[in-house]
Amino acid sequence: MAVQTLKRIDEFRIEVPDTYVQGMKVPGVIYLDAALGEGLEERAIRQVANVATLPGIIKASLAMPDIHMGYGFAIGGVAAFGQEDGIISPGGVGYDINCGVRLLRSNLRADEVAPRLRELLGVLYEDIPSGVGSKGKLRLEPGELEKVMSLGARWAVSKGMGSAADLERTESGGSMEGADPSQVSVRARERGHSQIGSLGSGNHFLEVQKVDEIYDEQAAGKLGLFRGQVTVMIHTGSRGFGHQVCTDFLEVMERAVRKYGIALPDRELACAPVNSKEARDYLGAMRAAANYAWANRHVIMHWTRDAFMSVMGMGPKDLGMMMVYDVAHNMAKMEEHMVDGKKMMLAVHRKGATRAFPPGHPELPALYRETGQPVLVPGDMGRASFVLLGSQRAMEETWGSTCHGAGRVLSRHEALRRAKGRSIYRELEDRGIIVMSAGKQTLAEEMSEAYKDISSVVEVVHGAGLSAKVARLLPIGVVKG
């Protein structure tokens, strides 16, 4: 069916009618303005429609403005399923379980850091391994990986990295209950054993930024942000550990589809009923991978603070490098939501989407109960990132969800082709952005043209009321895989 059959609901929303593919139980809703809508992939639309055929889906199959084709679900996809008749699908979570973003604020101004920025990036690049197959400096003792899977960021704090104050500023306190290490394969454990404290490759990064624009002075003040300030954004996830968990359970779910007689329009949507053993086992392993990812970001944060203190010659109090928040992407969570005026427990899948919980939500830490949840939306390494706040409208429309990033518009192969003969490193330096990377290929694959304009994506979620802009952050130094 042609893209022209989509119906524009308003300036920021498009409806995918429930006739788009056979078997749809609910319509689809994609959050896009007219400009972003011009680049909408037909295959991504079909993935939104395919999700709408899954058992127990509630209200609509949703997609954020950073939508692009993924495995099973489109990246940017959000869907909620009833606890009694719904499903759990690894394709609705993704391979990089709990890929997420952590933002640190500091007492430093950009002009103070500028003279030492290259030296600082050199230390960060040396201390925090990046690139394909990179291994962290930590070597876990026998039994330690079990604790990482169970405790998440709390394990890192127990080892003297960070503090309880950091955990308060992390989604789910940096540790999901219900993790079941017994469901994690030997192969996943082998891949995860040596990767704690590493960025990995692809779109993962550590970025030194400056606060360039404040949209809400009062909210920014409560988050500890001010113009000209140096911030650090860390974007990575569960590395090969989470990838292997997903790989293992896709095979389990393919068998479950046959066992439970679930009709699918796409085998990549392999799933199992929420209350089945297969779903419980997957959630136990997924939560273990989520905890691994939180521990990974926590270790990286600890080494980042050490690097700043060393290069800037400052103690922790003067540096003031505190977490603003840590948000997760690529998760399935059991959450309570209102459905037709009644509270229901739902299995909410966010594939390349992030929570955007409103003021007063009981899961928010006390320090953000009044403001609403900080939402962190990274851009590409040459353009801005944004801090927003969650909203009540998001709770009502999207299960408390918003976008997670810019969203690719070029394949990695096409990006490499277009970058041929260019020096992306030099282009960024000419714009005042110092980059250190494990290889030129990653810089080419991750160049700005490979992504949607993050400002346009953020304007959609802001205009649609899913989250409200607080601050814009510009990169001044980037460590890439």
User: Which residues are annotated as catalytic?
Assistant: 404
Cβ-Cβ contacts under 8 Å for 408 (sequence gap 6 or more):
68, 75, 450, 451, 452
Cα 34 to Cα 259: distance, rounded to the nearest angstrom: 43
| Of the candidates 119, 206, 114, 213, the residue with the CA atom closest to the CA atom of residue 432 | 114
The two most distant CA atoms of the chain are separated, in Å, by 64
